[in-house]
Chain A
């Protein structure tokens, strides 16, 4: 496939398809339109004949007899068996060839780790050192990549099967717990694009979206990463806590407006008197528990040790042990304080 032929079409959207971001996407689209026109050809032919026969051979009197016609024709039957078979074998061949391109990464790739979990994506960059960022300032998780460099995602899930789907790259791969799946692409046009979860994963499946941010080149990508690192490091504890709440998937289950989700709301949680806040201990007893620093830290690291009354047991929450630093946990505690009773809500500038 001559890539240059499609280079000028890169930014164009067609009626059926979104923008193309890679050579492989362009090749896939050629197949899409090949199949599309094949569909149109056969459909128009068949539909046209149905209409034509229905008009021409309609019964005009109730006992009209059909015109003499054979009820069987071996040559014709062979023709319409063999020609579709040949078409199908051809389609299989070209489809498989491009599929190989779509699935086989080049030898040298820039690797990014992806962890899918209900209902959030976490992207970390082991080769350049940025750990655990999964969001931008406006809270959608962002996958940042440099343009024109082959990227390989090494993906796994912490709970159920998800599927990372990037429409503009025409590619997707399931993200399966207990194993690593890989997906590679080479995005060629800087910009921001949608990422979806394509495998149904529960309550907020449709909100498990993210953004793909393609930087112009590696230098721009590293610039972004540096900004990002400073930004996270320099946050005030409360802001860091809010950042963690957004970025680490807490808000999928814990609201801050008082509504009950899969987990308890954070509103009014801090400082809740023990008699109003009963939890199930591992021993099986229901005990009043005071919400304080130790309770929060335990809930983050070992969510199953004490499960609040009225919520699923065992807890639906995965353990965050080792995935939040002490500084981040301290930030979460500060953030919870601002949402607690007798506290003022955070003032937004």
Chain B
């Protein structure tokens, strides 16, 4: 059987099968949709990041005293207030709102599931595509429509509620000068995008596993994405309903949340966090999945406690639904409710701790190498450990009360959402980049960037723990001068971290221009996506994969050198086919095989 008879020419892949803008925006290929998501997510990461840098720059300067008495000059005329560094209060409030909303709704939530997940989930599973390719494209369109709503909000510059849209501030026009309806509409539409992706992944994992791919032979990223999808499908509708009620209240003046109209403002917080706390697990669980892949691959060792990690992902997804009330400890929620939510909150710590211990045990006696993706994997363990442990302060009622709404919380959730979820995302990009683009990047540059990001990140957010425990409230434009040293440390470190991101971006762009060709399996990964060409063909595989083992068996692999990467004995009969297609050859000496 010649390669041509497989139905596609040698050297063919998902990137070059068809060409042109139209072929991309009408594509049903999960890989192309994943790449479009990736591009969009990175674009918004740039915008959200730029806002963050602007905020931190503003915070370099305090006012001597937060609220200043009127000053008079020598002639007795009232003097104007001294200007702060960059911009005025309202601008600051709008910037932190958009920073939060963009990073949460447009970047972190779709980051790993919709971009990397879309790309690798079907390949890791051994399938040709997701179960509903059209729905997949439609969810991307919805994502774009949602982002347009946010961009309009951005252009009009009228959203200052914080990304949490707390009522009655957000629901009453007398209270805030905001474009709440447009922004919540955006979040509402993005929610549907998220739900559709979740449904697609659930059905794909349930129905499209090839022969031999049992539940406990699935790579851990798939378990993580499965758990994430469950949360997306179950929790996101609540956000949709809540935002719809907000729009109805604002547009029709029906009292739901606004006490002036007879509503209950705290009710909104319950609805909002019923989605938004599980959403934290939408953000972090896929990151844990990516970390599991990275740590196993670069230790060349079967992941320790596979079942425990897999089930702890599902455990997190379920317990994550029961703890939203810990966002309301000071909200006038009853003491009994506070007690129950505090108790339940502690139990999200257990699956998280279990995963960290398992990763450690995976490193033990491994053969650990330090390519760029692994540095992100190790950063993930360290930063997530801090992020997770500091969560204990917020679950314990006595310490949660003073630390609530201070920079301590800001630091905690940045350690989890940025230092963990986003670091895993960046690590995943570097891990699958050769697979996605067929190009190798400069590993040295990549590693330098990873180290800069790690140091910069800790320098930015660790001082925020200190000022938070000293009482610095969050979302403050002005502050007392005693907090300034911590703000300065945080701001300067954030510049350093930004340099790391720029360097990382440069490394990737440079690889597209000057990178050498990637072998099928440059890292020695044992999961299925490494058993096809880089980049893969539109149908993902040349032969339907047959799975007969756990996903992390590295013993069958041999190293062929830096240019050729790793070869897996299990797929030896397909290897020549893969290499032939990869190199664009029409035939190879051993190219014919009729085993399938």
Indicate whether A177 sits within 8 Å of B342 (C-beta atoms), given known contacts A50-B381, A88-B350: no
B375 to chain A, nearest CB (A): 10
Contact with A along B326-353 (1 / 0, CB 8 A): 0000111001001100110011011001
In the assembled complex, the Cα of A99 lies from the Cα of B340 at a distance in Å of: 13
Interface residues in A275-322 by Cβ distance below 8 A to B read 312, 314-316
Binds B, one of A105-113, A166-174, A214-222, A226-234: A166-174
Binds B, one of A2-10, A146-154, A156-164: A156-164
Instruction: Decide if B85 is an interface residue (CB 8 Å cutoff).
Output: no
A268 to chain B, nearest CB (A): 12
In the assembled complex, the Cα of A312 lies from the Cα of B368 at a distance in Å of: 63
Instruction: Decide if B25 is an interface residue (CB 8 Å cutoff).
Output: no
Chain A residues closer than 8 Å to B342, beta-carbon distance: 92, 95-96, 99
Instruction: Decide if B279 is an interface residue (CB 8 Å cutoff).
Output: no
Which of the listed residues B358, B361, B475, B480 has the most CB atoms from chain A within 10 Å of its own CB? B361
Instruction: Decide if B155 is an interface residue (CB 8 Å cutoff).
Output: no
Pair B70/A84 contact, Cβ less than 8 Å: no
A229 to chain B, nearest CB (A): 22
User: Nearest chain-B residue to A32 (Cβ)?
Assistant: B399
Indicate whether A84 sits within 8 Å of B335 (C-beta atoms), given known contacts A205-B475, A207-B66: no
Instruction: Decide if A62 is an interface residue (CB 8 Å cutoff).
Output: yes
In the assembled complex, the Cα of A58 lies from the Cα of B404 at a distance in Å of: 42
Pair B70/A256 contact, Cβ less than 8 Å: yes
In the assembled complex, the Cα of A267 lies from the Cα of B160 at a distance in Å of: 28
Chain B residues closer than 8 Å to A201, beta-carbon distance: 169
Size class of the B contact interface (CB-based, 8 Å): 35 or more
Which of the listed residues B176, B331, B392 has the most CB atoms from chain A within 10 Å of its own CB? B392
In the assembled complex, the Cα of A62 lies from the Cα of B364 at a distance in Å of: 18
Contact with B along A84-103 (1 / 0, CB 8 A): 11001101101111111011
Binds A, one of B180-188, B298-306, B424-432, B588-596: B298-306
Pair A98/B398 contact, Cβ less than 8 Å: yes
Indicate whether A257 sits within 8 Å of B80 (C-beta atoms), given known contacts A39-B392, A202-B175: yes
Chain B residues closer than 8 Å to A17, beta-carbon distance: 469-470
Which residue of A27, A88, A198 contacts B347 across the interface (Cβ within 8 Å)?
Answer: A88
User: Nearest chain-B residue to A196 (Cβ)?
Assistant: B473
In the assembled complex, the Cα of A283 lies from the Cα of B335 at a distance in Å of: 48
Indicate whether A31 sits within 8 Å of B398 (C-beta atoms), given known contacts A38-B392, A39-B392, A47-B385: yes
Pair A84/B353 contact, Cβ less than 8 Å: yes
Which of the listed residues B77, B398, B401, B480 has the most CB atoms from chain A within 10 Å of its own CB? B398
Pair B364/A53 contact, Cβ less than 8 Å: yes
Which residue of A71, A77, A251, A314 contacts B174 across the interface (Cβ within 8 Å)?
Answer: A314
Instruction: Decide if B8 is an interface residue (CB 8 Å cutoff).
Output: no
Instruction: Decide if B276 is an interface residue (CB 8 Å cutoff).
Output: no
Indicate whether A172 sits within 8 Å of B476 (C-beta atoms), given known contacts A63-B558, A81-B350: no
Chain A residues closer than 8 Å to B385, beta-carbon distance: 42-43, 46-47
Indicate whether A160 sits within 8 Å of B392 (C-beta atoms), given known contacts A99-B338, A103-B335, A206-B478: no
A72 to chain B, nearest CB (A): 6
Interface residues in A178-201 by Cβ distance below 8 A to B read 178-179, 181, 194, 196-201
In the assembled complex, the Cα of A178 lies from the Cα of B259 at a distance in Å of: 6
Pair A65/B300 contact, Cβ less than 8 Å: yes
Interface residues in B122-172 by Cβ distance below 8 A to A read 160, 162, 166, 168-169, 172
Instruction: Decide if B72 is an interface residue (CB 8 Å cutoff).
Output: yes
In the assembled complex, the Cα of A215 lies from the Cα of B352 at a distance in Å of: 48
Chain A residues closer than 8 Å to B562, beta-carbon distance: 62
B392 to chain A, nearest CB (A): 5
Instruction: Decide if A203 is an interface residue (CB 8 Å cutoff).
Output: yes
B447 to chain A, nearest CB (A): 14
Instruction: Decide if B27 is an interface residue (CB 8 Å cutoff).
Output: no
Instruction: Decide if A66 is an interface residue (CB 8 Å cutoff).
Output: yes
Which residue of A63, A84, A103 contacts B350 across the interface (Cβ within 8 Å)?
Answer: A84
User: Nearest chain-B residue to A199 (Cβ)?
Assistant: B405
Chain B residues closer than 8 Å to A91, beta-carbon distance: 346, 392, 395-396
Instruction: Decide if B471 is an interface residue (CB 8 Å cutoff).
Output: yes
Chain B residues closer than 8 Å to A18, beta-carbon distance: 470-471
In the assembled complex, the Cα of A197 lies from the Cα of B404 at a distance in Å of: 12
Chain A residues closer than 8 Å to B339, beta-carbon distance: 96, 99
Which residue of B175, B338, B476 contacts A160 across the interface (Cβ within 8 Å)?
Answer: B175
Which residue of B175, B343, B402 contacts A172 across the interface (Cβ within 8 Å)?
Answer: B402
User: Nearest chain-B residue to A211 (Cβ)?
Assistant: B67
User: Nearest chain-A residue to B78 (Cβ)?
Assistant: A257
In the assembled complex, the Cα of A119 lies from the Cα of B398 at a distance in Å of: 28
Chain A residues closer than 8 Å to B495, beta-carbon distance: none
Instruction: Decide if B7 is an interface residue (CB 8 Å cutoff).
Output: no
Q: What are 10 contact pairs spanning A and B, CB under 8 A?
A: A49-B363, A57-B363, A65-B367, A71-B305, A73-B305, A91-B346, A92-B395, A95-B342, A178-B265, A199-B166
Question: Given A50-B382, A159-B168, A200-B474, 8 other A-B contacts at CB below 8 A?
Answer: A17-B469, A49-B360, A95-B400, A99-B398, A160-B166, A165-B471, A176-B266, A315-B174
Please give the residue numbers on chain B whose beta carbons come within 8 Å of chain A beta carbons, in ascending order: 65-67, 69-70, 72, 76-80, 89-90, 93, 160, 162, 166, 168-169, 172-177, 259-260, 264-266, 299-308, 330-332, 335, 338-339, 342-343, 346-347, 349-350, 353-354, 356-358, 360-361, 363-370, 378, 381-382, 385-386, 389-390, 392-393, 395-402, 404-406, 466, 469-471, 473-480, 554-555, 558-559, 562
Please give the residue numbers on chain A whose beta carbons come within 8 Å of chain B beta carbons, in ascending order: 15-18, 27-28, 31-32, 35, 38-39, 42-43, 46-47, 49-50, 53-54, 57-59, 62-73, 76-77, 80-81, 84-85, 88-89, 91-92, 94-100, 102-103, 118, 138-140, 159-161, 163, 165, 167-168, 170-174, 176-179, 181, 194, 196-209, 246, 251, 256-257, 259, 267, 312, 314-316, 345-348
